[in-house]
Structure 1
Amino acid sequence: MDWQATRPGETSMPLPERQDAHLVFIGRLRTPFASRDDCPRQGDAEAGPLCRVEIDEPWRPALAGIERFAHLDLLYWMHQARRDLLTQTPRGGETLGTFALRSPVRPNPIALSRVRLIGVEDGALVVRGLDCLDGTPLIDIKPNRCAHSVEVRT
């Protein structure tokens, strides 16, 4: 599928030249999904496939204590998403504004997935619940304090 093509009713705009922020990616997400067509619409933290959260070397000490949490919120950058659509027409749906959709196509393609922490390995986390492309850059990890805390095997 051509992800740069527009569907009937979709509109776009040129992206601004200025940049407002600088992000530091702290790792990469390893999933079984090679294309956007392979990705589920939403991750399943209980029955989804096992995935790895690989943390870059300088950030590994920041994982200390993460095994105390059953669920984590992962923020990541959808690096292959378009950023210029104002309105979108989901497959078989009505045309809506980008901010009324959970589509990866948005001005700042930041995604959030609540994942289940399965295990902690040297410099990596094993999780369930991701819905992104293999190799997606990781922005941040936050423990989900609302979910019940349990000890995860390391």
Structure 2
Amino acid sequence: MPIQPVGDAAVEGTIELKEAYADGLKDLDGFTHCIVLYHFHVSDDTAPLEVEPFLDDEQRGIFATRAPQRPNPIGLSVVGIESIKEEMVTVTGIDVVDQTPLLDIKPFVPEFDVPSDADTGWLTASESTIRSKQADERFL
């Protein structure tokens, strides 16, 4: 599993909704990407407020990291949409554990979701290695 979706954009996965929610996928096939919100169901439920994140060897505040151990264990990924058939969405760039409970799917809209003046704080120093890093034992 890549540590972030950009770690391996070719990773393919399937999002399976309950049949009762299948109609909610109508028109999502017109988008190339979607935002997936999910519950970190295998993460430790005692999240420290400071962690040593991947790409760094310094303690950082949990809200300034993407660490999966969180006070409220909710994850977010932007994934590519490959296909939608009934209640199944095939996606690429997924970075979640199998059987992860899905909370929501939203269309990714660059005009809404990508601020033109964003700064990446302490991560700026590590940008060149973000795409090559894999999860380690801290994130399992």
TM-score, with structure 1 as normaliser = 0.64
Cross-structure match for 2:19:
57
Once the 2 structures are TM-superposed, how far is the Cα of residue 45 of structure 1 from its aligned partner?
Answer: 8.9
Once the two structures are TM-superposed, the CA of residue 90 in structure 1 deviates from its matched residue by: 3.6
For residue 143 of structure 1, the aligned residue among 102, 107, 120 is: 107
Whole-angstrom distance in 2 between the partners of 1:71 and 1:45: 16
**3-state SS in 2 of match to 1:135:** coil
CA distance 1:90–1:144, change in 2 (3 Å)? closer
- Unmatched segments (≥5 aa) in structure 2: 112-140
Residue of structure 2 equivalent to 1:73: 35
Is the partner of 1:126 in helix, strand or coil? strand
- Partner residue, 1:26: none
Which structure: greater helix fraction? 2
Tell me if 1:93 matches 2:52: no
Structure 1 stretches of 4+ moved >4 Å: none
The Cα RMSD (Å) is 2.0
Matching residue of 2:134: none
Alignment gaps of 5+ in structure 1: 1-38, 148-154
Deviates more, 1:86-95 or 1:126-135: 86-95
CA apart distance, 1:46: 7.7
Amino-acid identity (%): 35
**TM value normalised by structure 2:** 0.70
Superposition map of 1:2-81 within 5 A? 39-44=1-6, 47-81=9-43
**For the residues of structure 2 that align with 1:108 and 1:129, how far apart are their CA atoms?**
23
- Helix, strand or coil: the match of 1:136? coil
Q: Which has the larger radius of gyration?
A: 1
d(CA) in 2 for partners of 1:141 and 1:45? Answer: 21
